[in-house]
Amino acid sequence: MKVSEEFLSIQGEGLDLGVLTYFVRFPACDLRCRWCDTPYASLHPEAGEATTVEDVLSRAIESGAEWMCITGGEPLLFPEFVPLVQATPCSLKVDVQTAGHRLPSMGTGNVTRWSVSPKPPSAGEAACSATWAHIPEWLELHRQHPRVQFKIPVCDIVDLDFVQAQVEEYRLLYKVPVILQPVGPSEACDVALYATQSAGYDVGTLVREVACRSALRGIRIIPQVHKLLWGVRRGV
72 binds ligand SF4 (CB under 6 A): yes
Phi, psi of 176 (to 5 degrees): -155, 150
| Cα–Cα distance for residue pair 98/76, rounded to 1 Å | 7
Is residue 127 at the binding interface for ligand SF4, with CB under 6 A as the rule? yes
- Which of 3, 24, 29, 111 is the binder for ligand SF4 (CB under 6 A)? 29
Confirm or reject binding of residue 182 to ligand SF4 (CB under 6 A): no
Stretch in the footprint of ligand SF4 (CB under 6 A) among 52-60, 71-79, 192-200, 206-214:
71-79
* Minimal distance, residue 96 CB to ligand SF4, in Å: 13
CB of 99 to ligand SF4, least distance (A): 4
Q: Which is nearer to ligand SF4, 139 or 184 (CB)?
A: 184
Is residue 32 a contact residue for ligand SF4 (CB under 6 A)? yes
99 binds ligand SF4 (CB under 6 A): yes
- Contacts with ligand SF4 by CB under 6 A lie at 29, 31-33, 36, 38, 42, 72-74, 99, 127
